[in-house]
Structure formats: structure tokens, C-alpha cells
Amino acid sequence: MIIITGCTNQGKQEQNQKTVDMNTEVPEISDFSIGEENTAYAQYFSGKSWLASLTKMSELNVPMSNVTFEPGCRNNWHSHTGGQILVAVGGIGYYQERGKAAVRMEPGDVIEIAPNIEHWHGAAPNSWFSHLAIACNPQTNENIWLEPVSDEDYTVAVK
């Protein structure tokens, strides 16, 4: 159950919160839906994430979702056989290709990921983060999940 609360006398100065469960309040850091806790893919994430499908018409062939990460959450190393586009929409996050330095992501940043490039993405240690994830070439695109990003590698990447 999602409960939306806010303080009307504070206007835009107060951020609305979505209470997702008894323990987690997810701030609305973008205009996109937060969706549901991402339990289906939880095994591929270090920390909690939320997933909201944004496209409904499969015949458009452009699957797009909003993914929200709690502070410090990131997904495992992985690749997409058809590629992926990420658009940062809220908070601060990071994207890293294997063997390269991590890239800080802020709202408005766009990351184009070529097919079969091993990478990870997620939130900064002290910030919630949301990005749109767009699957390229969806007819043949598969996620290839790999090992988790170690705490040590994450700490080095986000410095």
C-alpha cells in the first residue's frame, strides 16, 4: 500500500513522501512514479530499489521504466544485449563501465550504453537517485546479470 502525505501549509518547500512499508519512506525526487518495491530483481541489487513501468503499449517497442534507488543502493555488474539508455531524473547517482572511472549522474544527464557493455548504476552513498531506463532493441535485448559490485569497489568509484 502506498500512502501519499504532505504538508499543505508549507507549499513547495516540503517534499512529499511516499510510505512504501513500515520502515521506508521514499522521497518524491522526480515527477515520475516511484512504483513498487523491486522485489522481483532484488537479488541483483545491493540495497532497496523501486520500479515503475512507464510505457504500456508493447507495440511501440520502447520499454521504459523509472528506477529509484535508496542511498548506497546499486545494481550488480550486468550488460544488455541490445543496449540501454539512462536518463537521470532525481537525486545523485553513478554509472560505471568495467575498467573505466565512474561517472556522476545528476538530473538531466543521459548515458548511452552500447550493447554488451558490462556496467552498473545506482545511488550516491548519501542521496536517493532515480533514472529512467530505456531498453534498446527490445526484440533481442536481454539482461545478463553478473557479480555484485563490492563495497570496496563502490567506495572507490563514488569518491
CATH of residue 106's domain is: 2.60.120.10
Q: Which domain holds residue 79?
A: 29-157
Question: How confident is the model over 132-145, as a mean pLDDT?
Answer: 95
Query: What average pLDDT is seen over the chain?
Result: 88
Number of separate domains in the chain: 1
Task: Tell whether 24 is covered by a domain.
Answer: no
Q: Which residue has the cell 550486468?
A: 78
Question: What pLDDT sits at residue 23?
Answer: 64
For the segment 138-154, the average pLDDT, to the nearest whole number, is 96
pLDDT category, 29, cuts 50, 70, 90? very high
> What is the pLDDT averaged over residues 79-94?
98
4 band by pLDDT with thresholds 50, 70 and 90: very low
Does the pLDDT of residue 22 top 50, yes or no? no
pLDDT in tens, 102-125: 999 999 999 999 999 999 999 999
Contact 64, 133 (CB under 8 A): yes
Torsion angle (degrees, nearest 10) of CA 21, 94, 141, 57 = 50
Taking the alpha carbons at both ends of the chain, their separation in whole angstroms is 36
Residue 83 pLDDT more than 80?
yes
| Residue 22 is assigned to a structural domain of this protein | no
Is position 5 within any domain? no
pLDDT for 152 equals: 97
Contact 93, 121 (CB under 8 A): yes
53/35 Cα distance (integer angstroms)? 8
User: What CA–CA distance (Å, rounded) separates 145 from 119?
Assistant: 10
In a domain, 92, yes or no: yes
